[in-house]
Amino acid sequence: GPLALAALLGLQVLIPSLPAEPLMIAGAYAYGLVNGFLLNWLVAVGATQAVFSLARYAGRPLVVRFVPAKLLDKWMQTADEKGAIIFLLAFVIPPIPSDIMTYVAGVSGIDGRRFFMANLFGRIPMIVLLTLVGVNGLSITPAMMVGLTLFGVLSLILWWYFIVRKRPDTLSSGPIDAS
């Protein structure tokens, strides 16, 4: 069961048009709060890193097989303008297509370590929410919502503390003008 779910979640990251949410809810329903969360989080982070590495290695010719060139160019421009923070936000904010942004990150200039940190911490709030839905149905209590909010805030604080605070230039993934 867990291996089948992990394979489906990994495939979902590879093929951006497949939805992850029903799989993560099912994982939480089947394996409970802690195991469901850990399975969803570890597989999502691991599969994302694998796709990032694949895109980085194979480059744009492979990426345009999964992401239309026009969409890729749009998000590349956004990534160039907003820097590394856009990749964190892609995992935290649902309307930003996180799986497409994984491909964008692979062909962008973002440092692999920064992308990993964005992936690791940025996925926590959404996976906590989906895990809670899977475990509790739609009966999420106010205490759970407070916990989810605290997870989100903690993720952003940790991102800032470990990445941005130490190197202010990390918000820009483009070339730095030394003149």
| pLDDT for 2 beyond 50 | yes
Distance of CA 29 to the CA centre of its chain: 22
| pLDDT for 3 beyond 80 | yes
CB 55 within 8 A of CB 63: yes
| pLDDT for 72 beyond 60 | yes
Q: Is 15 left (phi over 0), alpha (psi -120 to 50) or beta?
A: beta
Q: What is the pLDDT of residue 126?
A: 85
Its pTM stands at 0.73
